Each structure stands twice: as structure tokens, then as C-alpha cells.
Structure 1
Amino acid sequence: MTAALPDPPHARALTSDTILCVSMSARPSNFGTRFHNYLYNAYDLNYVYKGFAPADIAAAMMGVRGLPIRGAAVSMPYKEAVIELIDVMEPSAAAIDSVNTIVNDDGMLRAYNTDYQAVADLLTDSGFDRGWAVAVAGSGGMAKAVVAALRDTGFTDVTVVARNTQTGTDLAGRYGFAHRSAVDDADRYALLVNATPNGMSGADADRLPFPEAVVDAAFAGFDVVALPSDTPLVRRLRAAGKPVISGDSVIAGQAAAQFALYTGVTPSPELVREAADYASRG
């Protein structure tokens, strides 16, 4: 029998003093809304969180600054587009030119990247062999966090696989890695990392980020897609009994770091697990 998931703590009533945090994504989900609000309620914080799909990111950022909104999570495709709209790029964002978290300090917008820390933590704990050859699909904002985390956790043989030659070669060259527009050599890569929308709900839901032969020859995988976390890459590798890190671990880790930035409260590991379990239901 599956253990029952926790019910959310009792919610506070909204008041004129309630602090607003938001997420901005082309495909907003309920995960962040449920995760953050669960923790706000658990810690009895007068905050509320809401997701949006902005039609105009520049106008949305003006709203963040002017309302003022305390924090804003940023997802695809805005992780690079918001850079020119930020006042201060903190080291985690500046190092990889990608933003996933904005904190509003009295009208001063500060940018961070908690994706990077979440990925680095998971790689550190993975037990994956640092001598493995790694292929990373993608060259956008999430791929930047992944490639930087791979480098910083000791991986040295990394190939960025991206059809966009400009962004792919730029990302690979920044860290001294290789770029290829596609891979088909089945025995080359031991670890496969998906940092593209392939596997995400919608038009990309059934797509593998690598050819089947490449996936079948790999030793392990890491898919950053969280919604759903049971992607085609994850399913295929798990069916073969191979270790996989899935996107639900990434989204929980980065969201917990965002919560701490917005509120100044570091959530306990137990409450993070509860919040992630609750968020995954919606």
C-alpha cells in the first residue's frame, strides 16, 4: 500500500500586507505554486505564490519592480531574455549568463541561478564516474547550468549536442568542451543529460533527446524535465536497470533555494520532501 501524502498546512488569510512571489514561464505549471505555498503555510509566513505566462516579459518585469513583487522564478524561454532587465547579476547567474530567480530588494532586482546549485548537488551525490564521457542535449539557459555544474563537479569529457551551432559552440567553448550538432556513435557516451524540452508535456512529450542506440548504450542518465519527470529518456534507462536522476529532484532543489532567497528561511529537508510530494499531486 502506498503511504498517504501529507495534506497542506492550514493557509493564512490574505491581507494587504501579504507578500507576493510569482513564476514566469511559457508553460506555467502548478508545481512551484503548490510547493512554495505549502512551505509558506508550514512556516506561517504571510506570503503567497502565483504562476503566470507573460505575453510581454519586459512589461512583466516592470510589474515585478513596480508592485513590488518580492520574488520571481523564471523558466523557459525567459532565462536569458531577462538579463538586460536586471539591476544586479549575482555570481550564480553571472557565471553562466542565465537567470532562474529574481529577488526584489526595494526596487533593486537581483538575479540568481538556483538551477545550477540543484544540478551540482545532485551530481555530487550521484556516484557517477567523473571519467565518463558525457553528452548534454541543449544549449539554452538550463543547459548552461548543467554544463557549468558538470565542469565544477569534476567531469572533463563533455560534449554539448545542439542543432544551433552558434549557441552550442559558444557554450561548449566557454568550458573547453566539444560541440556537435547531433550524435549517433552509440558507444561514445556513458552519461546522457537532457536539458531540452524533449519529454515535456505537450508537443515534445514523446521525443527522446538522443537516438535510441545512443540511449541504450549509455550507463546512466540525467533528465532535467520535471513535468512530467517520467520522460521517455528516464523510462527507457530505468527499464534497462540503469541509474537515472530525474527532473523532480532538480525542481525541488532549485525551488527550496528560491524559497530561502525570498523569505530568508532555509526549509528543513523533511518539509522540502513534503512540499515536493504535495506539489507533485497538482
Structure 2
Amino acid sequence: MRHLKLICLIGDPVEHSISPVIHNEVFKKLGLNYVYLAFRVISNELEHAVRGLKALGAVGFNVTLPHKVAIIKYLDELSTEARSVGSVNTVVNSDGRLVGYNTDVVGVTNTFKSLGVSLHGTSVVVLGAGGASRAVLHTLASNDSSRIYVINRTLEKAVELANEFSSKFPHTEFKPMSLTLSNLKNALEESQILINTTSVGMYPKVNESLIPPELLRNDLIVFDIVYNPVETKLLRDAKSVGAKTIDGVNMLVHQAAASFRLWTGVEPPLNFMFDVAYSSLR
């Protein structure tokens, strides 16, 4: 029997993740001798988990909340993009050296590109200031968004993130704000796109949203990176007023495809991955 190669997901929580289903179905379809497993890893065990995966000879792993930034100090090397973004969601074991990548950027970029949405000159409201928001901010600024409102419950984190990205992308205006009704109202009135990068609305708390429905309008594009459920309360509310909505499966599959390429060197069947993802969430 050929040696079975291990790839996994680490985070907390991971029970909601459909990444194992997607990757394992693709491995089976392509006849690749890999297995993808999900492991819940709490924050104070992260270093031990990384060392363990390295010792086991894992081919690589995905990193999800809340470890996308914390993981960096346990890696041997970062890709140029991961270094710029300041967060990692994909790790490749390259002959015993753990190299961090950020395929979330590819996920966000390809999501907008595949749907024909241009980011050039746009004003965008981004909810959240964690690891996922970093990839979103990097993508928006790299594609010439003119103004980005970074709105977070903790203002200090939003300010820190806005200052960091302002120095990297001086042509884009970053405006940090605390999460208040008046700030949301003012920012949304000036914006064409709203992106939720927080876990609010994720299963099992499916009836939660950070945005009061009355602030949404039909000319907004509303993108929620949460994919379980596919249609979050935010997206339901947005759809009800006629706004264009983008679900989190888009980003999930596009970033998964990019990670798959890094681990295997094989081009994955993208449409098949979308079919598996949506089927597993029905």
C-alpha cells in the first residue's frame, strides 16, 4: 500500500468545517493517496500541535480561527504575500521546513473576479479586525479600493490594523471605527460593498447579524465569509432589500483550490469542489 499522506485543519472550533469533505472527495476523484482531517486546537496548545504535525511528517495544514496570526511565530518561513498580509491560513511542510502562505487572498480575489465585481475606486465596509480581515484588506487595497472602513467591536484593534495597512497601501484610505449604530450608518451610506469577516452568524448562532436590516439597501454588494449556513442572517436581510449577495462558499472553495495546488502540485477540479461544498451544506 502506498504511503498515506496527511493534511489537516487546525483551529477552534472546527466542527462546522466542510474542508475535510471537500478535500477528501477531490483526493478520491483524482486517485491521490492523501487524507484530510480536522483537529480542534485550543490557543495554549498551538505550539505543541504545530510541532506534532511537523514530527508526524504532515504534508501541510490549513489554519483557521483563532490561530491565523498566532501561528506565524511557529513557522520557519513565510511567503511574500503571507508576510505582507500578516496572517497565514495554509502551511506547507517543505522538507521539514514549515512555510506559511495566505490563500485567503486568492480566495477573496477570485471570488470577486469570478462574479465580475470590480474593486477599483470602491468604498468598502469591512466588519472585523482578525486574521481573515487582513486578507480582505490586502485584497481590497491591492485592487485599488479607494476607502476602507475597518469596523470592530474593539476600536484599538481596528486602529492598529488600519495604521498597519495604511503604511503598506498609502493610496487607499483606511478609516477605523468602533462598532456602533451611527458608525455603521455613516460608513454604509458612503460605501458600495459590505464584507463580514467575523464569525457572527456562523452555525449554530444562525440568527445573529452585526448589521440592522434597515441599514441595508438594494445597491449594496454584501459578502459574508461565513459559509455555514450558506445563507446567513446578514445575507437573508440583504437579499430581502434587493442587494447583491455573495456567500462564503465562494471564498472557501477558491482558497481551498489554491491550498490544494500548494500541497499536491495538482490542479483541482474547481466546479466539482463547488458541487461538493454546496451539497454538504444542504
- Taking structure 2 as the reference length, the TM-score comes to 0.88
Gapped regions of structure 1 (runs ≥ 5) = 1-14
- CA deviations 1:141-195 (Å, max 9, x no partner) are 0000011111112211111001222321122123331101122325233211100
Distance change in 2, residues 1:276/1:197 (3 Å): same
Structure 1 residue 52 and structure 2 residue 39: aligned?
yes
* Partner Cα separation in structure 1 for residue 2 and residue 48 of structure 2: 23
Select the residue among 153, 156, 160 that pairs with 1:166. 156
- Residues 217 and 243 in structure 2, CA contact (< 8 A), matched pair in contact too: no
Structure 1 segments of 4+ aligned residues over 6 angstroms from their partners: none
Relative to total residues, which structure has the larger helix share, 1 or 2?
Answer: 2
Letter in 2 for 1:41: K
* Partner Cα separation in structure 2 for residue 52 and residue 121 of structure 1: 27
- Residues 79 and 99 in structure 1, CA contact (< 8 A), matched pair in contact too: yes
Structure 1 residue 196 and structure 2 residue 185: aligned?
no
Q: What is the deviation of 1:25?
A: 1.6
* Partner Cα separation in structure 2 for residue 218 and residue 26 of structure 1: 35
| 165-174 or 89-98, which deviates more | 165-174
Q: What is the deviation of 1:92?
A: 2.2
Select the residue among 11, 19, 26 that pairs with 1:32. 19
Q: What is the deviation of 1:218?
A: 5.8
- CA deviations 1:68-97 (Å, max 9, x no partner) are 111110000010111100000112211111
- Residues 82 and 99 in structure 1, CA contact (< 8 A), matched pair in contact too: yes
* Partner Cα separation in structure 2 for residue 234 and residue 47 of structure 1: 35
Q: What is the deviation of 1:129?
A: 6.0
- CA deviations 1:190-224 (Å, max 9, x no partner) are 21110011111134x32222233322476121111
Q: Which residue of 2 aligns with 1:73?
A: 62
What does 1:1-282 align with in structure 2 at a 5 Å threshold? 15=1, 17-28=3-14, 29-55=16-42, 56-125=45-114, 126-128=116-118, 130-176=120-166, 177-182=174-179, 183=183, 184-185=185-186, 187-203=189-205, 205-216=206-217, 219-280=220-281
- Residues 21 and 47 in structure 1, CA contact (< 8 A), matched pair in contact too: yes
Distance change in 2, residues 1:83/1:142 (3 Å): same
* Partner Cα separation in structure 2 for residue 171 and residue 124 of structure 1: 25
Q: What is the deviation of 1:269?
A: 2.9
C-alpha RMSD over aligned residues: 1.8
* Partner Cα separation in structure 2 for residue 85 and residue 210 of structure 1: 36
* Partner Cα separation in structure 2 for residue 57 and residue 168 of structure 1: 25
Distance change in 2, residues 1:276/1:202 (3 Å): closer
* Partner Cα separation in structure 1 for residue 30 and residue 78 of structure 2: 29
- Residues 64 and 104 in structure 1, CA contact (< 8 A), matched pair in contact too: no
* Partner Cα separation in structure 2 for residue 274 and residue 119 of structure 1: 19
Letter in 2 for 1:260: R
Letter in 1 for 2:138: A
Give the length in aligned residue pairs: 266
* Partner Cα separation in structure 1 for residue 75 and residue 281 of structure 2: 31
SS in 2 for 1:175: helix
- Residues 139 and 160 in structure 1, CA contact (< 8 A), matched pair in contact too: yes
- Residues 196 and 209 in structure 1, CA contact (< 8 A), matched pair in contact too: no
Q: What is the deviation of 1:245?
A: 1.3
* Partner Cα separation in structure 2 for residue 270 and residue 162 of structure 1: 34
- Residues 221 and 243 in structure 2, CA contact (< 8 A), matched pair in contact too: yes
